[in-house]
C-alpha cells in the first residue's frame, strides 16, 4: 500500500482533499516508468483542478500535482534507459504526483543533472517552462520592456528572472510592500502596487508603453493591459486567477497592431513538443547553475499538510513556490 492525496469531489482544496492508503501501482507498461516521489511543486492550477475549473477537467477521484522530482524505481519495456535515474516530469492527469509513487509516460521524464536538489527541480516545470515559452512566443529580448502581472507568484518570479536573463527590462505588478520587495529582489526594475495605484498610469509614467505583457491574472487586468502595449506589442494570456477576462474585439487588436497569444504549457507542450521541452530544461538547468535562475521555494510542506498549503495558495496568502516533500532523498 502507498499513501496518495485524493479528491473525491470538486470543491475547495481543504474540503475535498484527503490522504488515502491505496494499492501499489501496477507494473509500468510499455514506454512507462514508475517514479518514487521525492518532491512535488504546487501550482494554482492544482486549486483549479480541485474546483473543477481547469480547462483539462478530470473527474474525481483524482490526484493533483503536476510537477514531480523523484527516482525511477520501475521501467516498462522501451524505458529501461531510465531505470534508477533521478528525473523531473509532469505526469498526465488524473494521475497526479501527490503521492509516494506516480506512473507516467517515459517521454515526459527528463533526467536531472547529478546532485540537483529535488525540491528545486520540482519548482521548475510549470512556472519556468510556462514563463520561458511565454517570453519565447512573445519574442521578448534585449532592450525590450516586459510587464509581468502577479510578479510575486511562481510564474511571475520565473518570468522576471528569465526576462532579465534575456536582457529585457521588467515592470511587475503585485499587492502590498512585501510582494513588491519580492519582485524587486528577483530583478524587476519597477514594482507597482496595484492595490494602491492604477498600474496603467504607473506603467505609462515609467515607460510610456511596453513591448510585452505576461498576464496570469485575467479579469479586467487583461483588458486594461491592452492599453499598456506599444506599437506591435504582444500580450500573453497565461491564466485567469482573477477571473475570466471580458471578450476581446478583434478589431481592437487590429487598430492597435497588437498580438494576443494564448498559452497553456502543461496541457500541451510536454506531449506535443517533448524534445523541445527537454532542450528548455537543459537551458533552465544551466541558468540555475549560473545563478540566473533561482527557483523561489518559500515554503515546504508534507503530504498531509498539502490541502492546507493549497488553501493558502488559493487565498493568495503565499509568495513564490510551495513544494511538498514526500519521499527519501529530500534534504
Q: What is the DSSP letter of 265?
A: S
- Residues 247, 194 within the same domain: yes
> Is the residue at 96 inside a domain?
yes
> Is the residue at 161 inside a domain?
yes
pLDDT score, position 329: 41
> Is the residue at 330 inside a domain?
no
Grid cell at residue 34: 514508475
pLDDT tens column, 39-62: 999 988 899 899 998 877 888 999
pLDDT score, position 19: 96
- Residues 320, 195 within the same domain: no
> Is the residue at 306 inside a domain?
yes
Cell numbers 498531509 correspond to what residue? Answer: 304
pLDDT tens column, 206-249: 999 999 999 999 999 999 999 999 999 999 999 877 788 888 88
- Residues 224, 142 within the same domain: yes
- Residues 46, 169 within the same domain: no
Contact 203, 192 (CB under 8 A): yes
Grid cell at residue 305: 499538510
Distance CA 111, CA 204 (A): 44
The DSSP bridge pattern shows strands 2-7 and 17-22 to be antiparallel
Q: Show the domain range for 29.
A: 2-123+295-325
Residue 256: CATH number of its domain: 3.40.50.720
> Is the residue at 270 inside a domain?
no
- Residues 219, 107 within the same domain: no
CB count within 10 Å of CB 319 equals 22
* Domain count within the chain: 2
pLDDT score, position 321: 87
- Residues 99, 8 within the same domain: yes
- Residues 241, 139 within the same domain: yes
Grid cell at residue 73: 524505481
Q: Reduced to 3 states, what is the DSSP secondary structure of residue 107?
A: helix
pLDDT score, position 44: 85
Integer distance in angstroms from the first to the last C-alpha of the chain?
24
- Residues 254, 300 within the same domain: no
The DSSP bridge pattern shows strands 32-41 and 67-75 to be antiparallel
pLDDT score, position 330: 46
- Residues 70, 100 within the same domain: yes
- Residues 239, 191 within the same domain: yes
Q: For the whole prediction, is pTM greater than 0.75?
A: yes
- Residues 113, 85 within the same domain: yes
Grid cell at residue 299: 515554503
Q: Could you tell me which residues come within 8 angstroms of residue 66 by beta carbon, excluding any fewer than 6 positions away?
A: 43, 45, 46, 90, 91, 93, 96, 97, 125, 126, 266
Residue 48: CATH number of its domain: 3.90.180.10
Q: Give the residue from 247, 262, 277 where a domain finishes.
A: 262
Q: φ and ψ at 297, to 5 degrees?
A: -75, 105
Grid cell at residue 84: 534508477
Per-residue pLDDT of the chain (331 residues; tens, 9 = 90+): 999 999 999 999 999 999 999 999 899 999 999 999 999 999 888 998 999 988 778 889 999 999 999 999 999 999 999 999 999 999 988 889 999 999 999 999 999 999 999 999 999 999 999 999 999 999 999 999 999 999 988 899 999 999 999 999 999 999 999 999 999 999 999 999 999 999 999 999 999 999 999 999 999 999 999 999 999 999 999 987 778 888 888 988 998 899 999 999 988 899 899 999 999 999 999 999 999 999 989 899 999 999 999 999 998 788 778 999 997 444 4
| 208 class by beta-carbon count within 10 Å (0-12 exposed, 13-18 middle, 19+ buried) | exposed
> Is the residue at 273 inside a domain?
no
Q: Give the residue from 215, 238, 262 where a domain finishes.
A: 262
- Residues 41, 145 within the same domain: no
> Is the residue at 142 inside a domain?
yes
> Is the residue at 149 inside a domain?
yes
Amino acid at each position: 500500500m502507498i499513501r496518495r492525496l485524493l479528491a473525491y469531489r470538486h470543491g475547495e482544496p481543504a474540503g475535498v482533499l484527503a490522504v488515502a492508503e491505496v494499492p501499489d501501482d501496477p507494473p509500468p507498461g510499455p514506454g512507462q516508468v514508475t517514479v518514487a516521489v521525492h518532491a512535488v511543486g504546487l501550482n494554482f492550477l492544482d486549486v483549479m483542478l480541485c474546483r473543477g475549473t481547469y480547462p483539462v477537467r478530470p473527474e474525481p477521484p483524482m490526484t493533483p500535482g503536476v510537477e514531480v522530482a523523484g527516482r525511477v524505481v520501475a521501467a516498462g519495456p522501451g524505458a529501461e534507459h531510465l531505470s534508477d535515474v533521478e528525473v523531473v516530469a509532469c505526469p498526465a492527469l488524473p494521475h497526479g504526483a501527490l503521492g509516494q509513487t506516480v506512473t507516467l509516460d517515459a517521454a515526459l521524464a527528463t533526467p536531472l543533472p547529478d546532485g540537483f536538489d529535488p525540491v528545486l527541480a520540482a519548482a521548475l516545470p510549470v512556472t519556468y517552462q510556462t514563463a520561458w515559452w511565454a517570453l519565447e512566443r512573445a519574442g521578448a529580448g534585449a532592450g525590450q520592456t516586459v510587464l509581468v502581472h502577479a510578479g510575486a507568484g511562481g510564474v511571475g518570479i520565473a518570468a522576471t528572472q528569465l526576462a532579465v536573463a534575456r536582457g529585457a527590462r521588467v515592470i511587475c505588478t503585485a499587492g502590498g510592500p512585501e510582494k513588491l520587495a519580492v519582485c524587486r529582489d528577483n530583478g524587476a526594475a519597477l514594482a507597482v502596487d496595484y492595490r494602491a495605484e492604477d498600474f496603467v498610469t504607473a506603467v505609462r509614467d515609467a515607460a510610456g508603453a511596453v513591448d510585452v505583457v505576461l498576464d496570469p491574472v485575467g479579469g479586467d487586468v487583461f483588458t486594461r493591459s491592452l492599453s499598456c502595449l506599444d506599437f506591435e506589442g504582444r500580450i500573453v494570456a497565461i491564466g485567469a486567477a482573477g477571473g475570466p477576462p471580458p471578450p476581446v474585439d478583434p478589431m481592437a487588436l487590429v487598430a492597435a497592431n497588437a498580438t494576443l497569444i494564448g498559452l497553456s504549457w502543461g496541457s500541451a507542450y510536454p506531449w506535443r513538443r517533448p524534445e523541445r521541452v527537454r532542450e528548455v530544461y537543459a537551458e533552465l538547468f544551466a541558468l540555475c547553475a549560473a545563478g540566473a535562475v533561482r527557483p523561489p521555494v518559500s515554503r515546504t510542506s508534507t503530504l498531509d499538510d498539502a490541502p492546507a498549503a493549497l488553501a493558502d495558495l488559493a487565498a493568495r496568502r503565499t509568495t513564490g513556490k510551495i513544494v511538498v516533500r514526500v519521499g527519501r532523498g529530500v534534504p
